[in-house]
Structure 1
Amino acid sequence: MTTTSTATGGVPRVFLVIRALSELQAEGGRVTQIARNVGLTQATTHRLLQSLVTEGVVEQDERSKLYRLSIDFFALAAKAGDGGGLRALCRPALLRLSASLGDSIFLLVRSSFDAVCLDRSEGPFPIRSFTGDIGGRIALGVGQGALAILAFLPEAEREEVIRFNLSRVREYGVYDEVYLRTEIEKVRQQGYAGRNTGLLEGMAGVAVPICDREGRAVAALSVGTIADRLNADRMPTVVELLKREAAAIGPRINPFDPTLRRPAQSLAGSPAAQKIHPPEAPASSD
């Protein structure tokens, strides 16, 4: 009984360490830093890291002693993401949009209280985005793609996300509840989220929701570009192309795609929720 409990209790902590490493991937992380970030002892963190090194999903630089996620980890993730799910379904649309518009196209998917970049197709113009590269996440409501998803959630889910995320979106300095709700209503009325100026200076974006057969927003197609390329004359053309692709994708979404499992059933277990309401420490002494 004790062995089973310990093994089960260790799984969440392993993923805490993996998530912490993903945030430190560029420069790598030391045991002390990772332990502090995940709220575990150095001894426990070191043991978990060494286990992951043994499994080949984490590597440690011999000279600097810094830990990073290994290439095997990313190869495994790429293989898992190539299962004929939403990413594979949307990839042709991203390529078509990028080619026809000449801008960067993003596929964002809902993950509990966040939007995660599931895929992107680069355009010729250097841009900055909230989610950054594939795998980056942002609170629902921040940025055009995340706002488009939030606006078209069922009302009960939308209200729960707003209540939870309000303190998070306020960190960007221009949001309050009235502003956020006004933006959501505007998006619902016009069917897209779009601005030619935004929180990222010089950047512009527009996004439309991708809705499943039940009319629930599960993802978004988003264009990221420089502000000069998304003026009032060009915006309707971009929106029309995005809506056309999203409308074609929606009916073809596999309702059993693991990427789109109903997040409302386990909101408390999301990474965002874990940061604000961390789980109780396991009974194990380490």
Structure 2
Amino acid sequence: MDDTGAEGGSLTGGVARVFAVIRALGAVQAEGGRVTELARAVGLTQATTHRQLAQLVAEGLVEQDERSKRYRLSLDFFALAAQAGNPGDLRTLARPALLRLCGSLGDTIFLLARSGFDAVCLDRAEGPFPIRSFTGDVGGRIALGVGQGALAILAFLPEAEREEVIRFNLARVREYGVYDEVYLRTEIERVRALGYAGRNTGLLEGMAGVAVPVLDREGRAVAALSVGTLSDRLNAERLPTVVALLQREAQALSPRLNPFDATLRRPAQSLASVPAGGLVRDAAPR
């Protein structure tokens, strides 16, 4: 890239240089970058690169470590990126989908999100049939791997994360009396092959459910949409229709996720507006 005449260059050229420097910083965000390294990466002189960096520092989008003299993108930069993304959090984005699914299927719909080694119920749309669930009401949590929603999330985590969760949760899963490691791993492979979790384990008598993962832009499961209903309402004939509706909503939701949404890292934050009395952990669904 030729930066000759940079001072009098066009606005387009100036903007292009700024974004070239920003992209170069993004590539070395962990360790930071020196002026010489960044200049080499973007094809500008050191003087021009330094000038661009100084302007970005003045705007608060870049910071320089006083000791190492390396530059990094600042927290303000990422805050700005978050504002530019979808402003809605996961719960807000998913609410219309829950209402559509509840209206179409006539069953209770759950939104679960990963929280460490657990799945947390962020929201639910209540159907007409009385049901029980593993997570209970909004705010309830269950170990990843127990119940359809938590199993759908676990199955579609990256392999290394999935293995870590299995090792940590295996003892917790065994407490239900029907799960061992072989069974859990078999179920995970089955869910990955089918694209949904829908086997009735019998843990909740008379209850059945099916869930699909909600994937982020990297293909990692961050949440699940789940149906909780009576066993006789989720027969072999109806199951494909339920799965198709869930998958359609999940696939529409995935590209709208804001990667900076705090809910995806700390699901409990989205429950701040829920009355404390509405948080239930000892009920038994999806």
TM-score, normalization: structure 2? 0.62
Letter of the 1:129 partner, please give it.
S
1:177 maps to 2:193: no
Letter of the 2:176 partner, please give it.
Y
Offset from partner CA, 1:165-184 (integer Å, 9 cap, x none)? 00000000000000000000
* 1:205 corresponding residue in structure 2: 209
1:195 CA displacement: 2.4
* 1:158 corresponding residue in structure 2: 162
1:252 maps to 2:268: no
Q: For the residues of structure 2 that align with 1:113 and 1:224, how far apart are their CA atoms? A: 22
Secondary structure of the residue aligned to 1:251 is helix
Offset from partner CA, 1:26-46 (integer Å, 9 cap, x none)? xxxxxxxxxxxxxxxxxxxxx
1:128 is aligned, of 119, 132, 138, to 132
Offset from partner CA, 1:175-221 (integer Å, 9 cap, x none)? 00000000000000000000245310000000000000000000000
* 1:235 corresponding residue in structure 2: 239
- Say if 1:210 and 1:246, in contact at 8 Å, map to a contact too: yes
- Say if 1:131 and 1:138, in contact at 8 Å, map to a contact too: yes
Letter of the 1:153 partner, please give it.
L
Gaps of 5+ in 2: 1-86, 268-286
1:192 maps to 2:192: no
Gaps of 5+ in 1: 1-82, 264-286
Larger Rg: 2
Once superposed, which parts of structure 1, at least 4 consecutive aligned residues long, lie more than 2 Å away? 195-198
Q: For the residues of structure 2 that align with 1:136 and 1:97, how far apart are their CA atoms? A: 21
Secondary structure of the residue aligned to 1:195 is coil
2:115 is aligned, of 81, 103, 111, to 111
- Select the structure with the greater relative contact order (CA < 8 A; seq sep ≥ 6): 2
Secondary structure of the residue aligned to 1:172 is coil
Offset from partner CA, 1:78-102 (integer Å, 9 cap, x none)? xxxxx72000000000000000000
- Say if 1:196 and 1:230, in contact at 8 Å, map to a contact too: no
TM-score, normalization: structure 1? 0.62
- Say if 1:203 and 1:225, in contact at 8 Å, map to a contact too: yes
**Alpha carbon RMSD of aligned pairs, Å?**
1.3
1:262 CA displacement: 8.3
Distance of aligned partners of 1:180 and 1:197 in 2 relative to their CA distance in 1, 3 Å threshold: closer
Q: For the residues of structure 1 that align with 2:265 and 2:182, how far apart are their CA atoms? A: 30
Matching of residues 13-52 of structure 1 within 5 Å: none
Secondary structure of the residue aligned to 1:193 is coil
1:142 is aligned, of 143, 146, 158, to 146
Q: For the residues of structure 1 that align with 2:105 and 2:264, how far apart are their CA atoms? A: 28
